[in-house]
Amino acid sequence: MKVKIRQWNGVASWLWVANDENCGICRMPFNGCCPDCKVPGDDCPLVWGQCSHCFHMHCILKWLNSQQVQQQCPMCRQEWKFKE
Amino acid sequence: MEDIGMEADSAEMSGSAQQGVADAWGAVTAALMSPGGSVTEQSLSDSLALLCGQGLGRLLGGWLLETLQMRLSSSVVPEFWAGLKQPENEMEERGRAWVLLTAFRTLLGRLEPFLGGLERLGAWQDEGRGSLCGPGPGGLQERAFTIIRALLLFSPSPVLQERVLEFYSRTFSVYMNQEGRAEDGAEAPDGPERGVCPGCGVPTQQCWCKEALEQLQELSHILSKLQLLEWVSCEAVTSILHKLIEQRMEQHCRGEYERSFLLEFQEWLELVLGWLSKVFASEADREGLVPAPSAPSAPRAPSIPAGQPGSSVLKQWRCHMHQFFCRIYVNMRIEELFSIIRDFPESKAAIEDLKFCLERTNQRQQLLTSLKSAFESRLLHPGVHTSDILTVYISAIKALRELDPSMVILQVACQPIRKYLRTREDTVRQIVAGLTGDAEGCTDLASELSRGDPVTLEMQDSDEEGNDPEDWTPDPTDAVPDKMGSKRRSSDIISLLVSIYGSKDIFIDEYRAVLADRLLHQLNYNTAREIRNVELLKLRFGESHMHYCEVMLKDMADSRRINTNIREEESRLSEEEQPPLSLSSIILSSEFWPPLKEEKLELPPLVCQAMEAYTHRYEKLKAMRTLSWKPHLGSVTLDLELEDRTLTNLTVSPIHAAIILHFQEKSTWTLEELSVKLGAPKELVHRKLALWQQHGVLREEAGGRYYVVETGSSKEKLERGVMLIDSDEERDSNTTTQSEQREEKLQLFWAYIQAMLTNLDSMTLDRIHSMLRMFVATGPVVTEMDVNELEAFLQRKVREHQLMVSAGVYRLPKAN
């Protein structure tokens, strides 16, 4: 017997390669989106800091904008720098 | 009494005057008893004057009545009844009619002298000859008629009613036959038969139709002369009308819902009215002739309706008949209402008729009771499929909102349906299937959904917006007093269905599950229909509720793009680097899809490699993102080449494909081996093997070993197998069921409940419920859960010894 597979339609779910489940700012799952967004993934991406913490991009930008003096990671209070 | 008084009076008089008075008395009484007798007018008036002079005038009336009474009771009444009963049931109908008429003729003949006397007495009185009628209320004539009625009908024998009824029925059919010949021949069932007159029901040569009508006229005349018409005929006429309307309705309307009968019956009733006018004709004539204010001495008593102009008698009868008709019609339709509802769009005419008649009779309560019990006995039992109940419910909504625009009937009568549907497990699924147009034979909902001008299901809190107070109408009296009020009593089918559960979230969750199923079963990423449905549902349920579904649809579009992308990349590879397996994928945003069933499945290395390669490419495409495969989901299209045959284009689930791929390596497997290899439980593997057995590809032999059947499987087996796939496997849902999801939600509360009980030691059920309501602010979940459900949950916890209950108070068990 010979089996010839013409087409295999699989199902997968995507997920962020992050070290946590939820965004430390909005507490929403990374695989979902930040409270301001409707659609996850490309439209509501994650960003990583050099301290290796990551957040929804919209969340951390909002946070950084609200910091007057120094821009710190809300988790570890190190200076926030985007990881290249 | 008055006789004695008279004698006493006359005894006191002097001898000569006595003689004169006696003569005068004799003359006057003779004149009264036989009008137009030998006594001249002049001597009569002299005698009268003499009597009056003696103060005897007042006694004349009394005497006349007394005599009338004596005569009646001694001879006239017995004679009448004897005459009526005389033939001992051996005569034909015609003869009986004759006897009836003769009896009344004789009666009239006997009473005529008295009537004449009365008239004369009345005339004298009018001329102002003093009061002749004696004391007492009411006119003399009226009293005389009262006496006649009283004595004649004091103990009426049933034979009179029978005869009258028979006679009237006959004349009715004769009349209707003559008048309605053009209309229809169905009046007398044996009408068209040869040689039988359809009117009087005897052979044509003996037809007495004409005679009957003449007799009818004479009888009416006599009766009205004796003022007996009302008393003798009304009952008979009423029962005839009742019977005939009923009969006609049975023949014409029962089971016939697609035609309106109102006009038809209106015309027919007009015909019947023609007959009635014959029955009451002389009444009308008489009243027409006698000028109304002519006789002040005989004031008409208001208690006799016959004292009104004749046309008003007919008018009254017309009203009566109409009332009869409405009542009978409503009765019949109420009986049939369930069938009418079931046939609804076709039975619109019947509903409209019923509405018209129902407004004229007071039978709403009856209708409600009957319809409710019809629903309960015919619909709401385990033998009826949920989708059928829904279909009838939808028809009922449509039909009853026609019938009663205030929606009260709908609301009250359908309460049992709603209550019952709540107990059915698959109600939500059926409704959602209906909405998406998946349900067989139930397209109402889908078309309702796509109807323009939808009613949004958002419950507004502000009641008084933009509503003119002038437009307000009170609820009908049978409305259920509840908070909803008339404003909220919607007639919108979808909102009614959705509100069965009091919450739309259940429906949206269910729809999400259905949508997920549909999308996962789809091979071509074609979502046009789903997009349309989601858009329509958005109009109903509001944008925010359908958000998850939109993301799901977007996932499909994204997946297609990613697949194309990866395909292109692959095509740029060289020959030998081409992947051995053409793999495409649906990539889900896990947070937005309903929870999918988790099943363990180890795919063959070939497939795993392909998936890894795919993941790799995905990771390149979308930085920092990876894929988590759900190996048991999806579909596989494959060809099977066996020694003597080829099966092409089979579409199976991944586990089927995995199984058959393993058989490619090795042609014999035991169930255990396969189960280990696939990492799936044995019973699942066993079930899945069945598909290949149906296809005739695999065969089970003793010892639980499965072999590939390389040659010689019969053709028909093959075809049968193909048919069976759909029914067997494909309908497996990929999403977890409603109850499983619910269970999870309840489990979420358990943590809260434990915390509460730790702090507060003990709490009642209501308290727990309200606390949860207050503190667990995760959206609609708590409000959906009613106390009963919570109680069931807590009871289970008690059984599992995680909770203690005593006297309605829950507490945590003491830790040892």
* Structure ipTM: 0.92
Considering only the beta carbons, identify the residue of A1, A10, A39 that sits closest to B629.
A10
**CA of A29: which chain B residue's CA is closest?**
B591
Which pair of tokens denotes residue B486?
């008339």
Architecture of domain B18-155: Up-down Bundle (1.20)
Instruction: Assess contact for B110 and B33: CB atoms under 8 A.
Output: no
Instruction: Assess contact for B144 and B68: CB atoms under 8 A.
Output: yes
Of residues B384 and B139, the one with the higher pLDDT is: B384
In angstroms, the separation between the Cα of residue A46 and the nearest Cα of chain B is 9
In angstroms, the separation between the Cα of residue B652 and the nearest Cα of chain A is 10
Is B591 in contact with A7 (Cβ distance < 8 A)? no
pLDDT of residue B179: 67
**CA of B711: which chain A residue's CA is closest?**
A1
pLDDT of residue B726: 41
pLDDT of residue B379: 85
Is B626 in contact with A14 (Cβ distance < 8 A)? yes
Of residues A58 and B85, the one with the higher pLDDT is: A58
For B738-811, CATH gives 1.10.10.10
Residue B192 confidence class, pLDDT cut points 50, 70, 90: very low
Residue B295 confidence class, pLDDT cut points 50, 70, 90: very low
In angstroms, the separation between the Cα of residue B633 and the nearest Cα of chain A is 6
* pLDDT at residue B233 is higher than 70: yes
pLDDT of residue B531: 87
Architecture of domain A1-83: 2-Layer Sandwich (3.30)
pLDDT digits (tens, 9 = 90+) for B439-477: 665 667 777 777 655 555 444 444 444 456 666 666 666
Which range, of B14-28, B336-350, B543-557, B662-676, averages the lowest pLDDT?
B14-28
Of residues B749 and B549, the one with the higher pLDDT is: B549
Q: What is the mean pLDDT of residues B89-107?
A: 73
* pLDDT at residue B126 is higher than 70: no
- Domains of chain B, residue spans: 18-155, 362-424+436-458+477-502, 517-631, 635-708, 738-811
Looking at B686-811, which runs of residues are DSSP E strands?
Answer: 698-701, 705-708, 762-764, 804-806, 809-811
CB < 8 Å to A32, chain B = 589, 591-592
Please tell me the class of the B635-708 domain: mainly alpha
Which pair of tokens denotes residue B219?
């009888």
**CA of B698: which chain A residue's CA is closest?**
A1
Q: What is the mean pLDDT of residues B229-250?
A: 79
In angstroms, the separation between the Cα of residue B658 and the nearest Cα of chain A is 10
CB < 8 Å to A15, chain B = 590, 625-628
Predicted TM-score (pTM) of this structure: 0.66
Q: Which residues pair with B636 in a beta bridge?
A: A8, B652
Residue B185 confidence class, pLDDT cut points 50, 70, 90: very low
pLDDT of residue B294: 35
Instruction: Assess contact for B69 and B42: CB atoms under 8 A.
Output: no
Which range, of B202-206, B516-520, B748-752, averages the lowest pLDDT?
B202-206
Which pair of tokens denotes residue B773?
């309501």
What three-state secondary structure class fits B653?
coil
pLDDT digits (tens, 9 = 90+) for B57-97: 667 777 777 777 777 777 777 777 777 776 656 566 777 77
| Residue of A5, A6, A54 to mutate, testing the B interface (most B Cβ within 10 Å of its Cβ) | A5
Same fold: B18-155 with B635-708: no
CB < 8 Å to A40, chain B = 551, 589, 591-592
Residue B188 confidence class, pLDDT cut points 50, 70, 90: very low
Considering only the beta carbons, identify the residue of B626, B660, B710 that sits closest to A3.
B660
- Domains of chain A, residue spans: 1-83
CB under 8 Å to B774, separation ≥6 — which residues? none
Is B697 in contact with A1 (Cβ distance < 8 A)? yes
CB < 8 Å to A17, chain B = 624-626
Which letter does DSSP use for residue B636 in this model? E
Sign of the four-CA dihedral B396, B397, B398, B404:
positive
Instruction: Assess contact for B484 and B472: CB atoms under 8 A.
Output: no
CB < 8 Å to B611, chain A = 10, 12
Give the length of chain B: 816
Of residues B139 and B627, the one with the higher pLDDT is: B627
Of B97-101, B596-600, B653-657, where does the model show the most confidence? B653-657
**CA of A46: which chain B residue's CA is closest?**
B624
Give the length of chain A: 84
CB < 8 Å to B615, chain A = 12
What spatial distance separates the first Cα and last Cα of chain B, rounded to whole Å? 109
Is B583 in contact with A41 (Cβ distance < 8 A)? no
Is B661 in contact with A3 (Cβ distance < 8 A)? yes
CA dist B532 and B543 (Å) reads: 14
Tell me the three-class secondary structure of B594-624, residue by residue. CCECCCCCCCCHHHHHHHHHHHHHHHHHCCC
Of B21-30, B176-185, B528-537, B745-754, where does the model show the most confidence? B528-537
In angstroms, the separation between the Cα of residue B672 and the nearest Cα of chain A is 22
Is B634 in contact with A15 (Cβ distance < 8 A)? no
Is B708 in contact with A1 (Cβ distance < 8 A)? yes
pLDDT of residue A6: 85
